[in-house]
Structure 1
Amino acid sequence: MDFALTDEQRSIVEVTRAFVERELYPHEEEVERTGHVRPELVAQIRAKALAAGLYAANMPESVGGAGLDAVTLALFEKELGKASYALHYTGVVRPSNILMACEGSQREDYLLPAVRGERTDCLAMTEPGAGSDMRGIRTRATRDGGDWVIKGTKHFISHADEADFVILLARSGPDRNDFSTFLVDLDAPGLAVHDGYRNVSHRGYTNSILDFDDVRVPESALLGPEGKGLELSGEWLGSTRLSVAATCLGRAERALALSTAHAATREQFGQKIGKFQGVGFKLADMALELRAAELLTLQVAWLLDQGRATDADIAMAKLKATEMLAMVADEAIQVHGGMGLMDELPLERIWRDARIERIWDGTSEIQRHIISRSLLRPLGG
């Protein structure tokens, strides 16, 4: 089994790493201090990402994206993941790949402008009463003549405050599995965007509350087949969960590098602290867990490229990487002592940011449910 990167993969990793260090790291302190990313800074990073060929890397070449395979995309996401989430997700945009379901005029109105960086999307599934259980969604789309009328509330909608349109999952029929997906412009009459909640994780990466008060959209707003919204969303969730795993690898690698350098230079009791087993063994465990999570994530990406990845495979990668990051971030602070909790270092941010990874895009409990179900079902359990 050959684990070596191709020349192309090495080049993408090097270019992305240089971009992150040059264009993103310098702005992290400002984002943490102010809690937002200035619009002019977003525009600046996007322009440079477009020029560097890093924009829409997750989208196929057939629509103007970079067309990265899953393994290369995971390596790309890992490098971006080292930086502030707000900076790399609002600046180096990866449009929701659910947009590949666009047909006809939708391609010119939504898909292609998103790939070119002219428009940005946000995805609205979560509601106050429906998180992991999407069948609990109450937002409803009802036919009215040749239109659909949408009523309901979504929350925890990432970066909706600066998006141009929303990809909406709504109940569209009487059956409990009857959901459809819609493309709705954020300036549509009846759609209100409210500030969301203050979040301890990922400062500057905003969430919003969306209220749909009888928002009327044409039949052409329907994305994909009517009644197949859950299936369409399920395809999207697989790729985003793997992306979460990959970005966690990047932050853990940054935390480990800082901890190793500190342990090799900090002196206490007449010797470098890395020579004490209490510190050295922490570094060993951090490196071990990071390596295991990275190999699992890349293996699942490889399976995805082969068309063989299952929901359980993706769940394993997301679960392992997110829980590994929590452990590495916590131990990194312990290695640094009091300074680890000061904002002069990125460790306290990485520690705070790590907490949300075990919740969004499916909690750790949901991932364990998916994995255990895949083990028991073949045996009738």
Structure 2
Amino acid sequence: MDFSLTDEQNMLIRTTRAFVEQELFPYEAEVERTGELRPDLVEEIKAKAIAAGLYAANMPEEAGGAGLDTVSWVLYEKELSRANYALHWTCVARPSNILMACTPEQRERYLYPTVRGERSDCLAMTEPEAGSDVRSMKCSAVKDGDDWVINGTKHFISHADVADFVILFAASGVEETPRGPKKLITAFLIDKGTPGFEVLPGYENVSHRGYKNSILRFENCRVPSSQVLGEVHKGFEVANDWLGPTRLQVAAGCLGRAERALDLALQWAATRKQFGQQIGKFQGVSFKLADMATRYKAAEMLTLNAAWKADQGAMTDEDAAMAKLFASEMLAFVTDEALQIHGGMGLMSELPLERLWRDARIERIWEGTSEIQRHIISRALLRPLGA
């Protein structure tokens, strides 16, 4: 197998890494301290990201994006993720690929302005009683003439506080199946400010300071049928068509932060002295570094292999689940060991390690918990055997 990167991919890595270090790293301490991302700072960095060709680079060329192949996109995500999450996600936005399902009219109103940085989106699936079990969602959409009337609540909705519109998934009907009734789901595009749609502050989170979650409340919110994204009752099909690589995005982000934590641990082990020598010479530290590097490399291989298969049209749910599962658990291990190598200094806010350690915890939960990933993997293994 050829593991070498193209000249274009190496240039993408260098460009993105330089941007992160020059434009994002300097503001990490401010965001961590205040828990806020200044609007003027967002606009300043966004303009620089657009000029550098890094904004909305995940989107296809036909939509105005960079049209990166999956491997290149994963490499790009890895580099961006070395920085504070709020900074890289809000200032160097990657719109949801599900917007590619827009009609021509919807593309003019939602897709293209979002890719240009004039508007921003958020995705709303999770509810207080519907997390991993999306089919149990209670937020409903009922047809009334040419309109749909939406009622219900969503929560844990990332960056809804700054988004201009929401991509909402709601239960729109029921179909009978051999296993009993099953809810039908429809996706909608709903502008912030639509009567009956309210965005409320979410919960305080130990991970990713500055990157907020919100509660969305819909009370007799009326939207025209022209706001349906994709086909009526086909919301899951739309999501499956366009959201497949999302778990690779999480895996790539874990790689970026793990690499930063490992680099910090290596520098500390090579320069910190105790008992007359560098602590990296002690087996208790050197073996930690070896285990960290090995797990990191294994996660990188799993992620890049899944990305390569995606480019060949051969990636399975099992591939993406393995990458997300292993990379997120690897990040937890690497950040914890890096902090341990630093001793007391690892927990001090003067270093980014305590943030990397805190931020790592959410990766085993969102975009499908580790338990869900293990379910996907085991089901794929057993299905051919009829189990």
Bin for the TM-score computed over the shorter chain? over 0.9
CA RMSD of aligned residues (A): 0.7
2:260 to 245, 249, 254: 254
Aligned to 2:271: 265
Normalising by structure 1, we get a TM-score of 0.99
Confirm whether residue 359 of structure 1 aligns to residue 374 of structure 2. Answer: no
1:15-94 → structure 2 map (5 Å cutoff): 15-94=15-94
Q: What is the rounded CA distance, in whole Å, between the counterparts of 2:386 and 2:80 in structure 1?
A: 42
Cα shift at 1:45: 1.1
Q: Alpha-carbon deviations, 1:339-370, whole Å to 9, x = none? A: 00000000000000000000000000000000
AA at the equivalent of 1:319: L
Describe the SS at the equivalent of 2:174.
coil
Aligned to 2:238: 232
Q: What is the rounded CA distance, in whole Å, between the counterparts of 2:269 and 2:107 in structure 1?
A: 53
1:129-140 → structure 2 map (5 Å cutoff): 129-140=129-140
Describe the SS at the equivalent of 2:173.
coil
Cα shift at 1:231: 1.9
Describe the SS at the equivalent of 1:138.
coil
AA at the equivalent of 1:96: S
Describe the SS at the equivalent of 2:166.
strand
AA at the equivalent of 1:77: E
- Kept in 2, the 8 Å contact 1:177–1:230? The answer is no
Aligned to 1:287: 293
Describe the SS at the equivalent of 2:161.
helix
Describe the SS at the equivalent of 1:160.
coil
Q: What is the rounded CA distance, in whole Å, between the counterparts of 1:354 and 1:108 in structure 2?
A: 37
Task: Say which is worse superposed, 169-178 or 26-35, in terms of deviation.
Answer: 169-178
- Kept in 1, the 8 Å contact 2:100–2:111? The answer is yes
Q: What is the rounded CA distance, in whole Å, between the counterparts of 1:7 and 1:177 in structure 2?
A: 48
Q: What is the rounded CA distance, in whole Å, between the counterparts of 2:224 and 2:244 in structure 1?
A: 29
Q: What is the rounded CA distance, in whole Å, between the counterparts of 1:135 and 1:233 in structure 2?
A: 13
2:281 to 267, 270, 275: 275
Q: What is the rounded CA distance, in whole Å, between the counterparts of 1:97 and 1:3 in structure 2?
A: 27
AA at the equivalent of 2:377: I
Confirm whether residue 112 of structure 1 aligns to residue 112 of structure 2. Answer: yes
AA at the equivalent of 2:157: I
Confirm whether residue 97 of structure 1 aligns to residue 97 of structure 2. Answer: yes
Q: What is the rounded CA distance, in whole Å, between the counterparts of 2:275 and 2:242 in structure 1?
A: 53
Describe the SS at the equivalent of 1:174.
strand
- Kept in 1, the 8 Å contact 2:97–2:243? The answer is no
Confirm whether residue 199 of structure 1 aligns to residue 166 of structure 2. Answer: no
Cα shift at 1:174: 2.2
Describe the SS at the equivalent of 1:162.
coil
Cα shift at 1:236: 4.0
Cα shift at 1:104: 2.3
Aligned to 1:369: 375
Aligned to 1:170: 170
1:143-154 → structure 2 map (5 Å cutoff): 143-154=143-154
Structure 2: where are the runs of 5+ without partners?
A: 176-181
Q: What is the rounded CA distance, in whole Å, between the counterparts of 1:291 and 1:232 in structure 2?
A: 33
- Kept in 1, the 8 Å contact 2:322–2:377? The answer is yes
- Kept in 2, the 8 Å contact 1:319–1:364? The answer is yes
Aligned to 1:12: 12
Cα shift at 1:216: 0.6
Aligned to 1:161: 161
Q: What is the rounded CA distance, in whole Å, between the counterparts of 1:162 and 1:107 in structure 2?
A: 20
Aligned to 1:312: 318
Q: What is the rounded CA distance, in whole Å, between the counterparts of 1:63 and 1:329 in structure 2?
A: 37
Q: What is the rounded CA distance, in whole Å, between the counterparts of 1:92 and 1:104 in structure 2?
A: 25
Confirm whether residue 188 of structure 1 aligns to residue 221 of structure 2. Answer: no
- Kept in 2, the 8 Å contact 1:237–1:361? The answer is no
Cα shift at 1:238: 2.1
Q: Alpha-carbon deviations, 1:317-357, whole Å to 9, x = none? A: 00010000000000000000000000000000000000000
AA at the equivalent of 2:188: F
Describe the SS at the equivalent of 1:284.
helix
Aligned length: 381
- Kept in 1, the 8 Å contact 2:202–2:215? The answer is yes
Confirm whether residue 323 of structure 1 aligns to residue 329 of structure 2. Answer: yes
Q: Alpha-carbon deviations, 1:36-93, whole Å to 9, x = none? A: 1111111111111100000111110011100000000000000001000000000100
Q: Alpha-carbon deviations, 1:155-202, whole Å to 9, x = none? A: 000000110000000001123241100000011011111000000000
Describe the SS at the equivalent of 1:157.
strand
- Kept in 1, the 8 Å contact 2:147–2:222? The answer is yes
AA at the equivalent of 2:68: L
Confirm whether residue 223 of structure 1 aligns to residue 233 of structure 2. Answer: no
